[in-house]
């Protein structure tokens, strides 16, 4: 690391620091319930491009009864994973897998480079997935491709602005102050990139 100043380090160095300073590191896995793990596998493996890394098939005493379920992990580049459960009994499926809330503000966002974003966008189009199940938003500081999975979970694939390190440094320096300002009622936009 070239400097002790948090706001002068690269993204890679920040990631190293996260571990060194005792913060949680990368995502280990998310967990959601799928109605049909083959539809989920097709979406995440064939369209998004995340390899199926593990399929755990289990019966456990969980939350007051024996639950029989399958649990699939789809790998991200850094070793993290998106994981999905499907239950054998419809009662367990209904109990643990309520429908996702229909809100674009509930989503998971994964960082991509341009080639990866382009590839996912092309495979979404080839699959015949169309708006409103997929769309692109230009946020200024990033370009985001959104797509809904077979169970209604929205995945965002985020391509950072080329100047991301400067942008993050500036945001970091004023993050608390801006939060206080907004919560106090001053809702002036501070996104100067759009």
Cβ nearer to Fe ion, comparing 156 with 160: 156
57 binds Fe ion (CB under 5 A): no
x-or-dash string of contact with Fe ion, 145-184, rule CB under 5 A: -----------x----------------------------
- Quote the strand ranges of the chain, DSSP E: 29-33, 52-62, 65-75, 81-87, 107-111, 134-138, 142-148, 154-160
Cβ nearer to Fe ion, comparing 156 with 178: 156
Stretch that binds Fe ion, among 28-36, 103-111, 112-120, 125-133 (CB under 5 A): 103-111
Q: Least distance (Å) from Fe ion to the CB of residue 136?
A: 12
Cβ nearer to Fe ion, comparing 72 with 153: 153
Distance separating alpha carbons of residues 146 and 149, to the nearest angstrom? 10
109 binds Fe ion (CB under 5 A): yes
Stretch that binds Fe ion, among 41-49, 109-117, 134-142, 167-175 (CB under 5 A): 109-117
**Residue 136: Cβ-neighbour burial (10 angstroms; 0-12, 13-18, 19+):** middle
- Please, how many CA atoms are within 13 Å of residue 51, restricted to the half-sphere of its CB? 5
Cβ nearer to Fe ion, comparing 71 with 111: 111
Cβ nearer to Fe ion, comparing 89 with 139: 139
Distance separating alpha carbons of residues 69 and 58, to the nearest angstrom? 5
Q: Which two tokens stand for residue 82?
A: 């998106």
125 binds Fe ion (CB under 5 A): no
Please provide the distance, in angstroms rounded to a whole number, between the alpha carbons at the two ends of the chain: 33
Q: Are 117 and 157 in contact (CB under 8 A)?
A: yes
Query: Which stretches of the chain bind Fe ion, using CB under 5 A?
Result: 109, 156
């Amino acid at each position: 690391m070239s400097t002790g100043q948090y706001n002068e380090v690269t993204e890679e160095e920040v990631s190293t620091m996260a571990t060194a300073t005792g913060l949680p590191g990368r995502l280990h896995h998310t967990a959601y319930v799928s109605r049909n793990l083959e539809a989920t596998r097709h979406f995440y493996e064939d369209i998004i491009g995340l390899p199926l890394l593990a399929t755990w098939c289990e019966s456990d005493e969980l939350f007051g009864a024996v639950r029989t379920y399958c649990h699939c992990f789809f790998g991200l580049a850094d070793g993290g994973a998106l994981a999905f459960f499907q239950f054998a009994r419809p009662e367990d499926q209904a109990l643990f897998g309520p429908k996702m809330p229909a809100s674009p503000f509930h989503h998971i966002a994964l960082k991509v480079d341009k080639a990866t974003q382009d590839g996912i966008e092309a495979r979404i189009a080839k699959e015949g997935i169309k708006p409103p199940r997929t769309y692109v938003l230009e946020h200024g500081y990033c370009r985001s491709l959104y797509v809904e999975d077979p169970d209604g979970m929205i995945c965002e694939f985020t391509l950072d602005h080329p100047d991301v390190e400067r942008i993050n440094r500036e945001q970091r320096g004023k993050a608390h102050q801006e939060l206080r300002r907004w919560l106090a009622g001053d809702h002036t936009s501070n996104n100067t990139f759009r």
